[in-house]
Structure 1
Amino acid sequence: MTLRHVLRALVACIASCTSTVYASPYANRRVSDVLDELRGAGFVFIYSTHTVPAGLRITVEPVARGGVELAREILAPHGLMLLEAAPKIYSIARAAKTAGPRPPSADAYPIEELVVQTSRYTLSNDLATTATFLTQDQIKDLPQLAGETLRAVQRLPGSATNGFSGIGPVRGGEPGEVAIILDGLRLYEPFHLKNFLSPVSLLDSRLIDSVAYYSGGFPAIYGDRMSAVIEAHSIRPGQPRYFELGVDLFHASALGSVSFAEDRGRALLSYRRSNLGELAKFSEAEFGEPNYQDAFGRLGYSLTERTRASFNVLVSIDTIEALRARETQKVTAEYRNVYAWATLEHEWSEAASSRGILSYTDLSNDRYGRISEAARTAMLNDERTFHVLGLRWENLLDTDLLQHRFGLEGRRLWGQYRYVSDVSLAAGTPFPGSPALQVQRDLSPEPDGYEAVAYWDVRTDITDRWTFQGGLRFDTQTYDGSGDGAQWSPRLSALYALGRHSNLRVGWGRFYQPQGINELQVEDGIDRFNPVQSADHFIVGFDHAFATGLDLRIEAYRKRYRRLSPRFENMFDPVVLFPEAEFDRVMIDPDSARAYGIEALLRLRPHGSWSGWLSYAWSRAEDRIDGRDVPRSWDQRHALTLGVVWSKGPWTVSLANSYHSGWPRTPLRIEFDSGVPRVSSGVRNRDHFGSYNSLDLRVTRVFALSRGVLDVFAEVTNATSKANACCVQYKSHVNESGSVHYESDVDSWLPLVPSVGVLWRY
């Protein structure tokens, strides 16, 4: 059933009740208003505006005149029900639909909003047609280190995780190949502590209502990135007033939402600050003091019944001081991100709508560093500013036979780099016999130019069994000076309904990725942008919904990369403060690359108090370098994730286990060039670390208060404290015979990390 059909049915229901409207105390009133009145009697109802829209009205006069019985009666005609979370605390959810006889169709058991689309994954327990794949409830129920929203995405097939970074490679691509979008705006730098493995995103888990995740094969409306798209939507509380206050080991946060002008307008404001600086003061180790904070604001107003406007602002500020090696290495960094965008939406008719987004992005990144060691000294001064002014116009048109999505976008971009570094190595460093060396860099490029985008995407249901979706995207850039011209990206997907509960999908597309204006690699001595990269995706998938409550999905994919940009890696130890000053820094310049694999996801829909999932992926990711296939540093042959959620009354307990085979490791081999020792890159990624495994647990208890509810949770990351190896440090020693041997010290990712917290909602 489409939105248009729902609206028609709603209008018909309201019309049928007009004869009793004026004689009935509840009929034709807004559902949210009545629920708010019931809060005065001590009841708490938890829902979002996706579930109970502001315009949803009571269509049938209820028999009950109060209490939870009244709430149930006014919700039931809309297919909604109450789930008791604790005494007088209820969440509102969609009632399970009874399976009646109907002919097989592509929508028999839809798992995606666009049923023909491959590679959209979900842990959702609801099979109803919806654009939501990970709701806020599902995100918060899962263990999430530091409250990180994207931890839930990392538990889906195709993601490679180290347990620390907020986002990892997806289906063999680099982490930078993932686009993150919030309420229609692409975020250029969506992470805190971005030069320190990006552990926390700007997507506060309390702020995010839902997340849609494409692991590949995404439609033509999305561009700029080659591997994946994560589209997040901020919450829209249904209550006239809603507030939250929370504190845990990592963050303190606050959120408030109020309506005004007879509910035509709504304001939302959230704020979050880290507690890591305070934690650092209580630590015996001198590792520095990281601090960050972010805030989001939205002001929305319904100009008419068909026209809505909103203004959004997202601001983040980081201040980091990082120390290492007994304070002989020190890096300080200050980051400031400001995203501001205004949105205007208009429904021309039941079949046509448009949305315009005017945006401004301001990024400021400053990094300063020094190394003061006996055999090595270094200094760094890195200052960068970027500005992006954008205008996007997108449209939806439903002509019954064809559903169109098309739009235009233009961006004006300008930036400034100021990078100065000086690295000096004494003779005998890093290896005995190494000559003294000094490397100085001074670069100050100032890119300036434009981006232009046009796209068209169309979907059609040819028969009850066949559905097709195709699109074409046009991109061009001038700020990079590469002269690459325009990029044309065709996309095509098809779905064949094998039966009422089974679907077969296939998708193909070409995806281009220009180097972003903020991605110039000046730290490695590069002051020119690389040519536009591209990748071709081919995906085949099958899904089946079992009557027992299990859903199975199997998908095979293949990605072929062309014209890849060179990248820089630290072969032995990626967890360093000053990557460009380390001896193991190398440039990887592949001729091409490929990634392919098979993924299977088995999901249990709610069965009593239980739900869960199990996924397995076999994959390979390789660069083609000088005629050889070299595993990428995040190549993982086997990956297995398991999740179990138990929820009853006020209690929710979740367990999530992530396993993958060990990532490649480079053995240390010294070769001599004219008598000068240097690290051999010919053996790069020949060995492997041990397998990675992290068992994470979370327990939540909801308490009813005289005003609102209190969530209390305890969480453990890597509960078994497994030493997941990440990196190696080498030290050279000269034997009595004069020969040199090297000792290795293997370090690990996160140990066992506990956390506790409380959240007051009222």
Structure 2
Amino acid sequence: MLLSVALSTIAGPLSAQGAAGSQQPPAGGKVVVEQSAGAVDLAPTASGPSPSAPNSSRASVPVAAGAGSRFVLIGGVVRDTLDGTTLGGARVELLGTGFSTRSSDDGHFRFAAVPAGRYTIRVTRMGYEPIVIVDVPLLEDHREAPLGVTMRRRTVALSEMIITPGHFGLLQGDVAAGGQSLSRETLETIPQLGEDIYRAVARLPGVTADDFSAKFGVRGASGDELYVSLDGLELVEPFHLKDVGGAFSIIDIQTLGTASLNTGGFSAEYGDRLAGVFTLETSDPRTDGVHGSVGVSAMNARATLQGGFAGGKGGWVLSARPGYLDVALKFTEIRDSIQPRYYDLFAKVRYDLPGGGRIAVHALRAGDTFRFLKKDEPNIFSGYGSSYAWVTWDDQFLGDRLHMQSVLSGSAISWQRHGENYSTAGVQNVSIDDTRSLDRIGVRQDWTFDASRTLLFKWGIDAKRESAAYDYLRVLAGKQPDGVKTGRGASISTLAAPRADKVALYFAPRMQLLPSLTVEAGARFDRSSLTDESIVSPRLNVSWQPYERTTVRAAWGSYSQSQSLFSLQAEDGVQSFGLAERAQQRTLGVEQSLPNGVIARVEAYERRLTHARPKYANLGGDMWLFPELLWDRTLIDRTAGRDRGLEFQLARKDAGRTDWSVSYALASSMDEIGGRMVPRGFDERHAVHADWSLHPASGSWRLSLGGLWHSGWPYTPTLLTVDTVKNSPTELAISTWRRPGELNSMRLRSYHRVDVRWTKYFHTRAGRLSVFGEVYNVLGTENPRGFWRDATVKDRQVVLTSGEIQQWPRLPVAGFTWQF
């Protein structure tokens, strides 16, 4: 493979020693080695590598000069320093951009054409020391020459080892995570509604989601049981358009640098959640001038700017995204008077401190407005707001043995709904006013101490003070004209102003007992003043690597989740909070690297829930804007639960012109209600996910297909009562009343959907333009999410009718992104 690259005015070999040596700044680019005591050399010619120590890591970049295009083609080969063998699976990135690739089995890699400029190049591979080349000038003048990268083997640090099963690295390859990762290019180009990180993650095994909502659940648990954080800050209800289930997240995927999802068995630093952990980290801004991107699609628009200051020590990024789902709905069969609009804004400023520390200031603001007008149904006018501000301070002491991460934060959530309904005579018979708010201040601090190469200590504290306000009023005037739709006939007024102080402590030592065996045994203490509870949760995680390509991970632990201060079901007249729910989890997984870049994974899990809280829910499957008014609103008085399953996955990523993955999950999710086990609403006994993408060697376009099949969800049948209102020789009039039957005693037919997305890249003098076209549910499959029954009169005969409540229809979407 040849490299077409331009590096200006590099007069001779350049090297940068690690902590043990001195660094001589290069003329054309600064070279840095991450966590390495080796060296990196940039050679001025293509004739061969510069002399170097036998055990050093080295990147040889030839110099080319002349006049030509504003774009350069980057390619080369990655080798082992000791024996010169080629290395497949190495990740090569241009940091701060969307350009990344992996070396194939023969060690070769290649990028598409990239705009001329100055870049930071990073090369990482599991088991090898990472290489970072900072501020490398890639000019428009270039000639073809090879890039040779040699990497030195290393032992992965204890703090970097992934010892929890069910871990998925997202957006960027994780050096220690192995093959269970999805690159940025993959996540940005797989079919997904709204270019949303939440909807992209829903394609992973063990993850369940509804078409209408971005909120996903893991292994039978609901999305409310998932811990979500952005740059170290815990997020509360991070979704737009809550009136329709939270259609999109408030996080723009373009601002993210890395992400990870753990679907079970997470360690002691995370708590107050039962199911999993979803951590998001924003990308570091580029500091070599001002850069940005602008994107427009049928669902939203976005704009991002980033730059640096103080000679590259500081950086900043601004992002804005307005959404207009009502425009996309015009391309579907949905013709209701729905006007949903939303926006989110994000800003970050970071500064590198002397000694390796960093301080950063973050702000996130999201807002929604929703209006729905339809005859014979309640009208709704709603608004939601989320405001977050937080400061992070990361630093290291005692050399680099003691690491500290601190987060100081303030959050404010607001929720306003107003609805009304009028009878056919124009008389108002329903009025709802719902105002809620949550304010939170918090501080979190996490420490890690490398006592030795085989012993690591982790500990930390997380403290929050919260206050909420509920003002809910529902007035029903007289007898309702339609008992089918307003079956709950009581007026309700709820006023509450709860407060809570929460404190959590954890301690988790990690020990490498053998070169192939690592154990982390930890414990967590959670205290909540809201219910006056103190809970201790022990955890155990084990990682065993019996062979180089085989990793076995196991986890056991106790978990608890207190009721959120913002989750009081005031609309149902509830005015008190329940005790914390508790669960025990056991997980065992095996990951195997196969030839040709294929990764195989199998994982088994079981979670047993105790101290379950009762909760109101709608059982009919219909999505209504005021669910508390529906006839199917029912108190689910569960006392315990059980989730168990077996997951299989095969995947091939970034190892050629085609990427693919296929997974199968066998699962069971049950609740104990009234002394018997009942299937949960999202109980998917069988589920298959498959994704495939094709792209040329030049990377100028990408075609992606995604498919999903799962067995039907349980549903509660509708019991229909028909009363005769009038029966005369000339007229027969009836009234109908519905009530839920036996809970989740029947199942919908199976769900299946195919999505397609095509992305084309254009390189211009002003930057890179990517254009995409996507069709969600390209086959137009009518997938059920519920079942309805009704009765009508025809020719003086009562006719019973029934049918399915449908998921999203076929939805075409198109858009573009311009990076400059």
Per the shorter chain, which TM-score range? 0.7 to 0.9
1:55-93 Cα distance to aligned partner (Å, 9 max, x none): xxx988955154899987999999857732237589956
Task: Using the TM superposition, name which of 750-759 and 230-239 deviates more.
Answer: 230-239
1:420-466 Cα distance to aligned partner (Å, 9 max, x none): 0123573785379x9x9741111111011311111112211101222
1:248 equivalenced with 2:297 (yes/no): yes
1:121 equivalenced with 2:180 (yes/no): no
- Which runs of structure 2 are paired with 1:221-620 in the superposition (5 Å)? 221-240=269-288, 241-278=290-327, 285-324=335-374, 326=375, 328-348=377-397, 349-374=399-424, 377-400=429-452, 401-423=454-476, 426=479, 430=483, 438-478=489-529, 480=530, 482-483=531-532, 485-620=533-668
CA distance in 2, matches of 1:327, 1:706: 56
Letter in 1 for 2:243: N
1:25 paired residue number: 27
2:10 paired residue number: none
2:789 paired residue number: 730
TM-score (norm 2): 0.80
Residue 370 of structure 1 and its aligned partner are, at CA, apart by 1.5
Answer yes or no: is the 8 Å Cα contact 1:315–1:339 preserved in 2: yes
Letter in 2 for 1:94: V
1:754 paired residue number: 812
CA gap 1:515/1:535 in 2 versus in 1, 3 angstroms:
same
Residue 143 of structure 1 and its aligned partner are, at CA, apart by 1.2
2:780 paired residue number: 721
- Which runs of structure 2 are paired with 1:66-215 in the superposition (5 Å)? 66=65, 80=92, 83-86=110-113, 94=123, 113-122=160-169, 126=173, 128-129=175-176, 133-215=181-263
Answer yes or no: is the 8 Å Cα contact 1:309–1:342 preserved in 2: yes
Secondary structure at the residue paired with 2:491? strand
Answer yes or no: is the 8 Å Cα contact 1:135–1:210 preserved in 2: no
Answer yes or no: is the 8 Å Cα contact 1:601–1:616 preserved in 2: yes
CA distance in 2, matches of 1:29, 1:121: 30
2:138 paired residue number: none
Answer yes or no: is the 8 Å Cα contact 1:638–1:661 preserved in 2: yes
2:757 paired residue number: 698
Secondary structure at the residue paired with 1:160? strand
Secondary structure at the residue paired with 1:245? strand
CA distance in 1, matches of 2:692, 2:713: 26
CA distance in 2, matches of 1:273, 1:352: 42
Structure 1: tracts of 5 or more residues without a match? 1-9, 33-57, 101-106
> Alignment RMSD, CA only?
3.5
2:713 paired residue number: 663
Residue 576 of structure 1 and its aligned partner are, at CA, apart by 0.6
Answer yes or no: is the 8 Å Cα contact 1:60–1:74 preserved in 2: no
Residue 496 of structure 1 and its aligned partner are, at CA, apart by 2.4
Secondary structure at the residue paired with 1:652? strand
CA distance in 2, matches of 1:60, 1:157: 37
Letter in 1 for 2:414: S
CA gap 1:437/1:424 in 2 versus in 1, 3 angstroms:
farther
1:296-344 Cα distance to aligned partner (Å, 9 max, x none): 00011123132211100000011111234x3632111111110000111
Residue 728 of structure 1 and its aligned partner are, at CA, apart by 2.9
Residue 658 of structure 1 and its aligned partner are, at CA, apart by 1.3
Residue 272 of structure 1 and its aligned partner are, at CA, apart by 0.1
Count of matched residue pairs: 710
Task: Using the TM superposition, name which of 587-596 and 233-242 deviates more.
Answer: 233-242
CA distance in 1, matches of 2:447, 2:157: 24
Residue 737 of structure 1 and its aligned partner are, at CA, apart by 9.0
Answer yes or no: is the 8 Å Cα contact 2:170–2:258 preserved in 1: no
Answer yes or no: is the 8 Å Cα contact 1:31–1:74 preserved in 2: no
Residue 608 of structure 1 and its aligned partner are, at CA, apart by 2.0
Secondary structure at the residue paired with 1:195? helix
1:254-310 Cα distance to aligned partner (Å, 9 max, x none): 000010010111111000001235556899823321110000000111231322111
Task: Using the TM superposition, name which of 563-572 and 67-76 deviates more.
Answer: 67-76
CA gap 1:487/1:13 in 2 versus in 1, 3 angstroms:
closer
CA distance in 2, matches of 1:726, 1:362: 34
Answer yes or no: is the 8 Å Cα contact 2:470–2:497 preserved in 1: yes
Answer yes or no: is the 8 Å Cα contact 2:72–2:114 preserved in 1: no
Answer yes or no: is the 8 Å Cα contact 2:287–2:315 preserved in 1: no
CA gap 1:28/1:525 in 2 versus in 1, 3 angstroms:
closer
1:687 paired residue number: 746
Answer yes or no: is the 8 Å Cα contact 2:643–2:667 preserved in 1: yes
1:153-183 Cα distance to aligned partner (Å, 9 max, x none): 1111111122231022211112211121100
Secondary structure at the residue paired with 2:311? coil
CA gap 1:173/1:440 in 2 versus in 1, 3 angstroms:
same
CA distance in 2, matches of 1:749, 1:151: 15
CA distance in 1, matches of 2:682, 2:614: 16
Answer yes or no: is the 8 Å Cα contact 1:62–1:74 preserved in 2: no
Letter in 2 for 1:705: T
Answer yes or no: is the 8 Å Cα contact 2:172–2:258 preserved in 1: no
Task: Using the TM superposition, name which of 130-139 and 306-315 deviates more.
Answer: 130-139
CA distance in 2, matches of 1:97, 1:627: 50
Answer yes or no: is the 8 Å Cα contact 2:171–2:259 preserved in 1: no
Answer yes or no: is the 8 Å Cα contact 1:125–1:611 preserved in 2: no
CA distance in 2, matches of 1:125, 1:303: 26
CA gap 1:66/1:520 in 2 versus in 1, 3 angstroms:
farther
Q: Percent identity?
A: 26
Residue 210 of structure 1 and its aligned partner are, at CA, apart by 1.8
CA distance in 2, matches of 1:31, 1:75: 16
CA gap 1:15/1:635 in 2 versus in 1, 3 angstroms:
closer
Answer yes or no: is the 8 Å Cα contact 2:196–2:248 preserved in 1: yes
Letter in 2 for 1:300: R
Answer yes or no: is the 8 Å Cα contact 1:696–1:716 preserved in 2: yes
